[in-house]
Amino acid sequence: MTRRLLDLRCYLVTSGTDRRTVEVAAAAAAAGAGVVQVRAKQLDTRALLALVVTIADEVHRANAATTVLVDDRADVAFAAARTGAPVHGVHLGTDDLPADAARAMLGPDAVVGLTTGTVELARWADLQADHIDYIGAGPFRRTPTKDSGREPLGLAGYPPIVAATGLPVVAIGDVTPDDVADLMSTGIAGVALVRAIMQAADPAEVVRRVLTGCPTPTPAC
Q: Is 86 annotated as a binding residue?
A: no
Output the DSSP codes for the chain.
--------SEEEE----SHHHHHHHHHHHHHT-SEEEE--TTS-HHHHHHHHHHHHHHHHHH-TTSEEEEES-HHHHHHHHHTT----EEEE-TTSS-HHHHHHHH-TTSEEEEEE-SHHHHHHHHTTTTT-SEEEE--SS--SS---SSPP-TGGGHHHHHHH-SS-EEEESS--GGGHHHHHTTT-SEEEESHHHHT-SSHHHHHHHHHHTS-S--TT-
Q: Is 170 annotated as a binding residue?
A: no
Q: Is 71 annotated as a binding residue?
A: yes
Q: Is 128 annotated as a binding residue?
A: no
Q: Is 39 annotated as a binding residue?
A: yes
Q: Is 178 annotated as a binding residue?
A: no
Q: Is 219 annotated as a binding residue?
A: no
Q: Is 144 annotated as a binding residue?
A: yes
Q: Is 42 annotated as a binding residue?
A: no
Q: Is 96 annotated as a binding residue?
A: yes
Q: Is 37 annotated as a binding residue?
A: yes
Q: Binding site for Mg(2+): what residues are annotated?
A: 72, 96
Q: Binding site: what residues are annotated?
A: 37-41, 71-72, 96, 115, 143-146
